């Protein structure tokens, strides 16, 4: 079986998982009463898809084996591309689709902090600007999504990699050497 490119497989898997997460997030924003159900379905889909894609990648390494670290590395590479897709979705959602909802969340958070009285006005202004950048600035949104998905998938990957690692096929190597011996005896 021909081995496909590591980055090609990771980008394809990351794009698929990212689209599933984006659709779930979009449906959660549109139907707020069922947002928990969409979040739970997204979580289950992420675990299933990560296991499926990593197991498919491990199947390519039947003879050599697919170690725990290779499995975890593949999952983290998937997370990179999922973070890019979700970052793009959040940029579009916060700046174009659901701007008023994001502004409402920002205003509620700022008013809660100001009512606590733990920060003076200068600190509140700085925090307000940082939060606005974090929610609406494309660079901050993209970087934060990439980093958060890397940590999220790495945590999940610690457990998935246990089930997807493969030991080398010891008997497959012996069969190859037996075939070589038979061919030399026939000559």
- Give the per-residue pLDDT at 124: 81
- Pair 42, 20: CB distance under 8 Å: yes
Class of residue 46 by CB neighbours under 10 A (exposed 0-12, middle 13-18, buried 19+): buried
Beta-carbon count within 10 A of 21 CB: 24
pLDDT tens string, the chain, 187 residues long: the values are 456 788 999 999 999 999 999 999 999 999 989 999 999 999 999 999 999 999 999 888 878 888 899 999 999 999 999 999 999 999 999 989 888 988 888 888 888 877 887 777 788 888 888 888 888 889 999 999 999 999 999 999 999 999 888 887 677 554 444 444 444 444 4
With b meaning 16 or more CB within 10 Å and e meaning fewer, what string describes 149-186?
bbeebeebbeebbeebbbeeeeeeeeeeeeeeeeeeee
User: Among 25, 35, 140, which residue's Cα sits nearest to residue 89?
Assistant: 25
Beta-carbon count within 10 A of 118 CB: 9
- Give the per-residue pLDDT at 77: 96
- Give the per-residue pLDDT at 31: 92
- Give the per-residue pLDDT at 16: 97
Q: What is the domain partition of the chain in residue ranges?
A: 6-165
- Give the per-residue pLDDT at 3: 60
């Amino acid at each position: 079986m021909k081995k496909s490119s590591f980055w090609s497989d990771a980008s394809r898997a990351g794009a698929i998982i990212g689209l599933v997460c984006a659709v779930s997030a979009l449906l959660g924003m549109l139907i707020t009463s069922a947002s928990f159900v969409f979040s739970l379905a997204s979580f289950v889909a992420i675990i299933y898809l990560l296991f499926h894609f990593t197991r498919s990648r491990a199947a390519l390494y039947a003879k050599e084996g697919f170690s725990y670290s290779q499995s975890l590395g593949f999952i983290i590479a998937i997370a990179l591309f999922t973070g890019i897709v979700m970052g793009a979705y959040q940029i579009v959602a916060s700046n174009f689709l659901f701007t008023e909802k994001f502004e409402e969340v920002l205003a509620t958070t700022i008013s809660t902090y100001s009512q606590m009285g733990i920060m003076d006005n200068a600190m509140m202004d700085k925090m307000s600007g940082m939060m606005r950048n974090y929610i609406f600035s494309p660079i901050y949104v993209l970087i934060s999504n990439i980093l958060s998905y890397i940590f999220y998938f790495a945590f999940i990957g610690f457990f998935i990699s246990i089930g997807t690692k493969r030991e080398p096929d010891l008997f497959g190597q012996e069969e190859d050497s037996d075939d070589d011996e038979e061919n030399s005896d026939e000559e």
